[in-house]
Structure 1
Amino acid sequence: MTRDLSSELDTLKQQVAELQAAVQHWNTERRSFAGRADSPESVNSAAEAEQPGAGPGSVFYSGHARLNGQSYRWEPQERPMEQLLDVNNEKSAKILAALSNRQRLDILKSVIQEPLTGTELVERLGMGTTGQLYHHLKALTGADLLVQESGGRYAFPSRRLLPFLLLLASVSTLEDTSDYMDRMSTRNNAGIYLGPVHNFDVHHLLWAVIENPVMEHAAGYCSEIGIFLHDDGSVTVTDNGRGIPVASLPNSNIPAAQSILTDIHRFNGDAAFKVPGAEQGISIAVVNALSGRLTVDIRRGGRMYRQEYRHGVPQSGLMTVGIAKDTGTSVTFKPDQEFLGTGFEQARLNEQSAELMKAYPGLSIFVNN
């Protein structure tokens, strides 16, 4: 077969010209947008040059998504700050409340991926019956967040897709705020975890921290626990277990260790140390919330990791700080004197350690001050 090189060259030239025109058009729009005083690229310089009395600016957004074999693109849109801050609070609260139901969010996320019938939704989400699903479908359809296509399948209306995806993106960015709220609730209701009396026992937090390496020992991974008391009222619990997992959680950039140390609801009362008479067990996240400061050092996978907290709030990401030849976890914390003003007692630590070693013959516990 003889190739028509001249024709191929003409075609290639035409494609290059189209590409150049597209790039030039994109650059023109980009320069026009970036030249605005309130564009993202000039935010810093605009902030420096802003004069008293200047307007609050605007929020610009656009998007592109590919779902179910279709491509969606939204042109840049603008919402003035005055408009955003003047949104009807009652209506906003109703919208957020309507979407706060977990099953409704499950429905919306499922139909975004592919249109589904009611029966398929019941099976996929494990709702039990279509009757349980019906009132959610009715509410979401009435709110124009669902449409029913031919064949009885429910789909997400394309005109609502970008706002919903932006909402999910915002929720992802603000996800840690729920942990902060839980921690403040824990501090305001410490008696739920420490018992009904107001004179809380500081040792209960220590027993809860020791519970973790004891469980590691029961699983066959920890043989030694060290307890070290410090002059400033803090204490360190170290072990030679596997080390708290450090990999990020699925679909998240949050390390598993941070989730364990901040998610108050991660463990139920049966999986955490429980004070007699208390409503809920004390997990390491509860200890973190009730501590003025806490530092965790993790030896795992040949590296040492560290993260510091103040009142349960991370002060840094999970940092790699060295090389480790062994594995294990060290937790140093100082109970918040607002709740627990008394210090640790050497005699009680010795007594508790002896009881644990008697209950777990293969476990060695060292107490030092």
Structure 2
Amino acid sequence: MTVARDFGAELDILKKQLGDLEQLVSQIANDCSPRVSRTRTFDKNTVSVETINDELDLGGVFYSGQYSGEKWRYRWEPQERLVSQLLDLDGEKVAKILAALGHKQRLDILRSVLKEPLSGSEIVERLNMGTTGQLYHHIKALLGADLLVQEERGGMYSLPSHRVLPLLLLLAATSDLLDTSDYIELAETRNNASAYLGNTQDAYDPHYLLWAVLENSILEHRAGFCSEAGIFLQGDGSVTVSDNGRGIPVQVLPSTEKSRVQAVLTELSHYSTSNSFVAPGGEKGINIAVVNALSQKLSIEVRREGKVFRQDYKHGIPQTGLLTVGITKETGTSVTFLPDPEIFKSTFDKNVIAKHVPEISAIYPDLTIHL
């Protein structure tokens, strides 16, 4: 016997279920509404950033990993540290730990024994420490801090197993902060401009930065790779120095994500003082990294390997990665920079530049400089 279906009752049930679902969706939407999500990209890392208008849990840091050394293999299950706990750590103790590990030779010792257990003499030889006495001073501190263990009867040194992951995490975090050491030096350069520009009573001369950038083109000419350079005064007070040299190398440096051109523009010690322009009365030479630090903004364009590369900076800090912006058959480098008006009270003077160019041409008659 066929049983008749009550379509009305079924529709009532569906309406109730849809109503419950609509209420649930509305509740979820209201719970999420205080958050506004946006995505920001820094070089190769994409970070999702949310603006939060309500009080929520600060979240946590999750980590796990594995590591195979010469003698042991480590594997760590996923772990979590609450951000609220991390931010509430004793600042004085954290500073002491970082200071204790901040010694280069101690870090070198820990990294060496992390790869494989080593004897004292092997550590001395591998790190070129000279004497075992120098090693013993650091070994004693690391043993006392439970960052190092030694086998019985003067055996091999190694890292305690429970310290391996924290040290690797510390190195991982440090690798993402490596460039900040360059930026700190650039900031110190801005605060100590007189060491580079001369301890003058008058306003600092922005032309010193121009001569320093032009020095790079001159060095390319002396190496036999640059025959022409141009100086272009821009309407906004900036200046461009362009040449037909080889172009600053753009390849990524080993064990980093930094290009060689970024290293040139951010590492103050990249060029020695002898290869830098020295301002009258200046204690230190001005290289292109110093120019970058003392500029409100700087853009570099490199033409090599059939491509055009560009990167922008502000107060020495990269605002973009090294971008490929075109193709070309030419080679060379162009640097456009605006001296920071907080440091330099005067602007570029075409007459001053026009007077200086013939002096350079007299020294380097085969280098054509256009103004």
Same fold per superposition (TM over 0.5): yes
Correspondent of 2:360 among 339, 351, 356: 356
Instruction: Supply the distance in 2 between the matched residues of 1:305 and 1:236 (Cα, whole angstroms).
Output: 16
Q: CA deviation at 1:265?
A: 3.1
Instruction: Supply the distance in 2 between the matched residues of 1:230 and 1:47 (Cα, whole angstroms).
Output: 37
Instruction: Supply the distance in 2 between the matched residues of 1:230 and 1:155 (Cα, whole angstroms).
Output: 60
Partner of 1:115: 117
After superposition, the C-alpha distances for 1:240-266 in whole angstroms (9 at most, x for unaligned) are 111111011110111111111112233
- Paired AA for residue 184 in structure 1: A
Instruction: Supply the distance in 2 between the matched residues of 1:48 and 1:315 (Cα, whole angstroms).
Output: 21
Taking a change above 3 Å as real, the CA distance of residues 115 and 276 of structure 1, as seen in their structure-2 partners, is: farther
The answer to whether residue 309 in structure 2 is matched with residue 305 in structure 1 is yes
The answer to whether residue 219 in structure 2 is matched with residue 215 in structure 1 is yes
Partner of 2:105: 103
Correspondent of 2:297 among 293, 299, 302: 293
Q: CA deviation at 1:341?
A: 2.2
Partner of 1:251: 255
Partner of 1:180: 183
The answer to whether residue 181 in structure 2 is matched with residue 160 in structure 1 is no
State the superposition RMSD in angstroms: 2.2
Instruction: Supply the distance in 2 between the matched residues of 1:267 and 1:152 (Cα, whole angstroms).
Output: 44
The answer to whether residue 119 in structure 2 is matched with residue 128 in structure 1 is no
Partner of 1:191: 194
2:197·2:205 contact (CA, 8 Å) conserved in 1?
A: yes
Instruction: Supply the distance in 1 between the matched residues of 2:329 and 2:71 (Cα, whole angstroms).
Output: 49
- Paired AA for residue 366 in structure 2: G
Instruction: Supply the distance in 2 between the matched residues of 1:83 and 1:334 (Cα, whole angstroms).
Output: 44
Q: CA deviation at 1:118?
A: 2.2
After superposition, the C-alpha distances for 1:196-234 in whole angstroms (9 at most, x for unaligned) are 115211110001101111111111211111111112111
Structure number with larger C-alpha Rg = 2
The answer to whether residue 204 in structure 2 is matched with residue 200 in structure 1 is yes
- Paired AA for residue 229 in structure 1: L
Instruction: Supply the distance in 2 between the matched residues of 1:49 and 1:278 (Cα, whole angstroms).
Output: 47
Q: CA deviation at 1:155?
A: 1.5
Partner of 2:42: none
Partner of 2:278: 274
Greater shift in the superposed pair: 206-215 or 347-356: 347-356
2:71·2:116 contact (CA, 8 Å) conserved in 1?
A: no
Instruction: Supply the distance in 2 between the matched residues of 1:50 and 1:193 (Cα, whole angstroms).
Output: 45
Instruction: Supply the distance in 2 between the matched residues of 1:108 and 1:141 (Cα, whole angstroms).
Output: 11
Partner of 1:146: 148
SS of the residue 1:175 aligns to: helix
Partner of 1:235: 239
Instruction: Supply the distance in 1 between the matched residues of 2:284 and 2:155 (Cα, whole angstroms).
Output: 45
The answer to whether residue 335 in structure 2 is matched with residue 327 in structure 1 is no
Taking a change above 3 Å as real, the CA distance of residues 76 and 216 of structure 1, as seen in their structure-2 partners, is: same
After superposition, the C-alpha distances for 1:63-99 in whole angstroms (9 at most, x for unaligned) are 2112215321111222222321121111100000011
Query: Percentage identity across aligned positions?
Result: 56
Taking a change above 3 Å as real, the CA distance of residues 342 and 148 of structure 1, as seen in their structure-2 partners, is: same
1:268·1:280 contact (CA, 8 Å) conserved in 2?
A: no
1:108·1:156 contact (CA, 8 Å) conserved in 2?
A: yes
Taking a change above 3 Å as real, the CA distance of residues 362 and 48 of structure 1, as seen in their structure-2 partners, is: closer
Matches within 5 A, 1:26-65: 52-65=54-67
Instruction: Supply the distance in 1 between the matched residues of 2:285 and 2:129 (Cα, whole angstroms).
Output: 30
1:290·1:339 contact (CA, 8 Å) conserved in 2?
A: yes
SS of the residue 2:221 aligns to: helix
Q: CA deviation at 1:357?
A: 2.0
- Paired AA for residue 314 in structure 1: P
Q: CA deviation at 1:269?
A: 2.3
Greater shift in the superposed pair: 125-134 or 90-99: 125-134
Q: CA deviation at 1:271?
A: 2.8
Number of aligned residue pairs: 325
Regions of 4+ moved over 6 Å = 43-51
Partner of 2:287: 283
SS of the residue 1:261 aligns to: helix
SS of the residue 2:348 aligns to: coil
Q: CA deviation at 1:49?
A: 11
SS of the residue 1:174 aligns to: helix
Partner of 1:20: none
Partner of 1:260: 264
Q: TM-score, normalised by structure 1?
A: 0.83
1:255·1:318 contact (CA, 8 Å) conserved in 2?
A: yes
Greater shift in the superposed pair: 142-151 or 275-284: 142-151
